[in-house]
Amino acid sequence: MVTSKTIANGILRALAIITGILLLLFLLFKIQSVILFLFIALIVSMIGNPIVKFLEKRLKFNHIVAVIVTLVFFILLLAGFIMMFVPLIVSQGENLSLLDTARLETDLVDLTERLKSYFSDHNIDIESMVKQSDLSSKLNLNFIPNFINSLVSILGNVGVAIGSVIFITFFFLKDQKLFIINAKKILPNEHEDKILNSFRKINHLLSRYFIGLIGQVTILFICYLIVLLIFGVENAFIIAFITAILNIIPYIGPLIATVLVAVLTMLGHMDPESQGEMLSTTLYVLIGYTVAQIIDNNITTPLIFSNSVNSHPLEIFVVILASGFIFGVLGMIVAVPLYTIVKVVAKEFFPQNPIVKVLTRNI
């Protein structure tokens, strides 16, 4: 028989559970940066794990030495990526300096005179209106030091993030076996094998996925570089690399890369001698990029992704599209890894489910 005491206890229990969930969500929100660092470090360690194994088995490196060499390799790649932007920024600044500033100044003066003439013809005293509005007193230049402080803060946060990810990645690579041993002590005995098998399969499939992603970016980089070199675009290596990296964002990334390469190609033809070739060169580069993206979308991507995570290309397409509609760009980026995790866990815990059988037949 249900009594008032039972109902009261149920209400109190429900309130306690809701309060606990809210506190947990609040805690996760407060440490979201730490969770992000862990997630990035996990991805880096999955990419680095095959390199560590290669150094240990083929080159007979000690485990710790192999981990350190792998991390140094990643750090050098990151440093090279950052340094690539310096000549690009300098070069585009030089291109902008080639603009005919004298002509631009003449055009602005001419425009100002025309405006004054127009307002005078309509009996509008624009000068008195500007004085009455007192724009100078309303102009607040405090944004300059605020911007500098924000920039310094961002650079500091980026430095902390990079240092944290490197530190966490080191221990993910170094103590992987220790994590498994400790996990066995914590996990319930009835689900221990299933959870550990899921972890091994996820680690294997996602390592293949991220290596495949690097392969896809490399192929695109080569295609883009060939196109840019053929048409003599400045800083071809850097532009090809940046636009290839953008392809990590499914479907939207190639569009951003196309716009970016068009802008950079036009900026590279700002000098008077090559301005006549600006539009034609940009058009040829865009055609070359489009051909490279067609090859990538129809051949490279389906083959790499379907083989790396053992999923049908149509399956991958639907998952990415659905994630994009629900979670936006970030959802598109993490769609395939998360879907792979769900498939592996479902196969381990619900192997007899007919839907799971169909979706995980190749895992």
Plot region of 100 (φ>0 → left; ψ -120 to 50 → alpha; else → beta): beta
Q: What would you report as the CA-atom Rg of the chain, rounded to the nearest whole angstrom? A: 29
By C-alpha distance, which of 166, 163, 198, 209 is closest to 308? 209
For the segment 204-229, the average pLDDT, to the nearest whole number, is 86
Q: What is the pLDDT of residue 195?
A: 80
Please give the mean pLDDT across all residues of the chain: 79
- pLDDT at res. 224: 92
What local confidence, expressed as pLDDT, does residue 206 receive?
81
In angstroms, the CA 208 to CA 201 distance is 11
| Higher pLDDT, residue 195 or 147 | 195
Residue 304 backbone phi and psi in degrees, to 5 = -65, -50
pLDDT-derived band at 133, boundaries 50, 70, 90: low
> For residue 310, which of 340, 290, 332, 281 has the smallest C-alpha distance?
340
Least confident among 54-58, 129-133, 145-149: 129-133
Q: What is the pLDDT of residues 260-309, one digit of tens each?
A: 898 888 877 666 565 557 778 888 899 999 998 888 877 777 777 777 77
The whole-number pLDDT of residue 173 equals 87
Question: What does the block give as tokens for 39?
Answer: 């997630």
Query: What percentage of the chain carries pLDDT values higher than 70?
Result: 81
Rounded CA separation 345/205 (Å): 13
Confidence (pTM): 0.65
Q: Is the pLDDT of residue 140 over 60?
A: no
Least confident of 23-32, 166-175, 181-190, 219-228: 181-190
The answer to whether residue 127 scores a pLDDT higher than 70 is no
Q: pLDDT tens across 310-328, in order?
A: 777 778 888 888 888 888 7
